[in-house]
Amino acid sequence: MILERRKANTIPTDWSAEDEAVLLTFLENESFDAKLLKTLFPNRTLPSIRSKVRKLRIKHDLFGASYRDTKEKFTEKIASEVKPKIVFDAYAGAGHQTFKWIARANTVYASELMKSKLKQFEKMASDHLFVKIDTKDCTWNLFQKDDKKIYLFIGDAVSAAAELKVNKVVVDLIDLDTCGSTLPTLPTLLVLLRPKHLVITHGEFHSMRFKREDVLRRLLVHRDIGSNPLPMGVDQMSDELDKAVKTAALRAHNETSDSFWLNLKDEIWLGGRIHGMLRRYYKVSKPSATADCINELSSLIKHA
C-alpha cells in the first residue's frame, strides 16, 4: 500500500514564550486534555499542540510524571530480583531510573542525548548525595558516592554503548526506557553489550493509538513492511511487540549462536492500557537451534 508523505495543512506558527509558559503551567498541573487545550490555543492544530506537549514534557522532566512511581517500583523490583552489578541506562533523562538501579548496582553507565538534561541529572545526583568528580574526561561525567559510581554520557545511546564495548565493559542489564521506540537500535545494543537482562519500555502504543501506519510499518521489524498492521488492539499490539523484540534479538548477529533468545519474565502497564505503555523485563539467553526459535516465534500469539 502506497503511503502519502505527511505534510502540515496549515502554515506553522511559532510558539511565543507566553504561549509556551501557558502550556507549561497547564502541563505541570493537569493531565493532557485535547478539548481543553484546543480551547486554550484555538488557532493551533491538535498535532501541533501534541508535538509541543511532548517536547515540553521531555525538556522539563514532566514526561510520564503521572506513572513515575509505578515505573520506579518496577525498576526496584527487577533490581532486587536480578541484583545487577553493572547497568547501562540508555535513555537516562533526568536519571529517575538511574538512581533506582544504583541503589542495587555498583556502577551505572547512563546516556542521554539532550545536553540540557545534564543540569537535571546533576540535581538528582546531589539529592542522592552523589558527588560530581572532575576526571578531565569530556566524554563521561562521573558521579560518586562511597564505592558506587555513575558515568553519564551526553550523546547518543549507540555511541555510548560502542564506547563501553571498546573499553571491554561487561554489562549485566540494559534499560531501554525511551519515550518512543528503541526497536531499531535493540539488536545493535544487544550485540555491543551482550547483557544478561533487558528492561524495555514500549512507547509504540502511542503510534498505534494515533494510527501512525508509517511509524508502525518501519518499527515492527518482524512484519512485512509493505502491509498495514492497523487496525490493531492493545492485546495484539502487546503480542506484536513481544514478537518484534524477540525477532530482533534472534537476528542481532549473523550467527544464531552469537545472537540472543529473550524470555519475557515480567511486565507492567505505565499509565494504564487505554492511554499508557508497557515496560517489560526479559531474561537474555543463548538461542537453541534456529528451527526451534523460529517455530516458537511463529506460534507466539498470547492473547488469541
Ligand X SMILES: C[S@@+](CC[C@H](N)C(=O)[O-])C[C@H]1O[C@@H](n2cnc3c(N)ncnc32)[C@H](O)[C@@H]1O
Out of 104, 117, 197, 279, the residue judged to bind ligand X by CB under 6 A: 117
Q: Which is nearer to ligand X, 36 or 114 (CB)?
A: 114
Instruction: Kindly state the smallest distance separating residue 80's Cβ from ligand X, in Å.
Output: 18
Q: Parallel, antiparallel, or unpaired: how do β-strands 197-202 and 173-176 relate?
A: parallel
Cell 531501554 belongs to which residue?
Answer: 176
Cell of 118: 545534564
- Applying the rule CB under 6 A, the residues between 203 and 242 that interact with ligand X are none
Phi, psi (rounded to 5 degrees) for 44:
-115, 150
| 79 touches ligand X (CB under 6 A) | no
- In the shown chain, the binding pattern of residues 147 to 176 toward ligand X, with x for contact by CB under 6 A and - for none, equals ---------xx-------------------
CA distances from 121 to 66, 74, 161, 252, 290 (A): 19, 21, 19, 32, 43
Instruction: Kindly state the smallest distance separating residue 181's Cβ from ligand X, in Å.
Output: 10
Out of 26, 86, 111, 269, the residue judged to bind ligand X by CB under 6 A: 111
Neighbours of 304 (CB within 10 A): 8
Neighbours of 54 (CB within 10 A): 15
Q: Which is nearer to ligand X, 96 or 197 (CB)?
A: 96
Q: Which is nearer to ligand X, 24 or 113 (CB)?
A: 113
| 118 touches ligand X (CB under 6 A) | no
CA gap 163, 25 in Å, rounded:
39
The residues that touch ligand X, with contacts defined as CB under 6 A, are 58, 63, 91-97, 111-114, 117, 156-157, 177-179
